[in-house]
Amino acid sequence: MLSVRQVAKMIDHSLLRPELTRADVAAGCELAAEYDVASVCVKPCDVAFAVGLLAGTDVAVGTVAGFPHGAHATRVKAAEAAAARDDGAAEIDVVLNIGRLREGRDDEVREDLAAVVDAAGGALVKVILENAYLTDEEKRRGCRLAEAAGAGYVKTSTGFAPTGATLEDVRLMRAAVSPHIGVKAAGGVRTLDLLLSMVDAGATRFGATTTAAMLDELAARRRD
């Protein structure tokens, strides 16, 4: 049975809503440090700020590129990744080019992602498929292209599309990539029971905003 710490280290505490102020980011970083989660995922403009706040903790700082639609030019995505790394980001979640994937232009999708991986300079890259817009075949192909590009994770969703993570998608993505590639579920993972079900389905990271509530509930269950 997973411990509270084990679950905490699967959570990327999400601070991506457009209306968040620096005070909101500071509060989110304080919460992330208190619960010792894997990372915070902040907007690109907040990376350096979050890095400073979390210095000396075991919480990484991540950010996004090509977010939320995946339609940035490759050179822009790569520049975003490089800037994030320069600002201290250890993880970068990038949205693949959804339209190109749906068109079957696989070489372009892979090359777009590979440019981001290269520009990330060793930062962990997680590729967001945005499954709400894809067929199962497209999801599998997107996973394979992300792995071929050198990404470390495939991710279900941005959290800004009509639907988010599902158990079926987590199982599909887990089966589509090699064992060393992680699967991140994001978008709608708001309850502890759903998170634990997704762990059983193969997810190893989660984008979450209800971090405190889920971890507090797990701690209470462990005491009972």
- So which residues are the catalytic ones? 93, 155, 184
Q: What is the 3-state secondary structure (H, E, C) of 13-74?
A: EEECCCCCCHHHHHHHHHHHHHHCCCEEEECHHHHHHHHHHHCCCCCEEEEEECCCCCCCCH
In 3D space, the residue among 125, 126, 154 whose CA is nearest the CA of residue 141 turns out to be 154
With H, G, I as helix, E, B as strand and everything else as coil, classify residue 183.
Answer: strand
As to burial, measured by CB atoms within 10 angstroms (0-12 exposed, 13-18 middle, 19+ buried), residue 179 is exposed
Question: Tokens at residue 215, please?
Answer: 């971890």
Residue 52 Rama label (left phi>0; alpha psi -120 to 50; beta): alpha
Q: Is 166 within 8 Å of 202 (Cβ atoms)?
A: no
Report whether 165 contacts 136 (CB < 8 A): no
Q: What number of other Cβ atoms are within 10 A of residue 202's Cβ?
A: 17
Distances (CA, A) of 198 to 39, 175, 191, 209: 19, 14, 11, 16
Length of the chain: 224
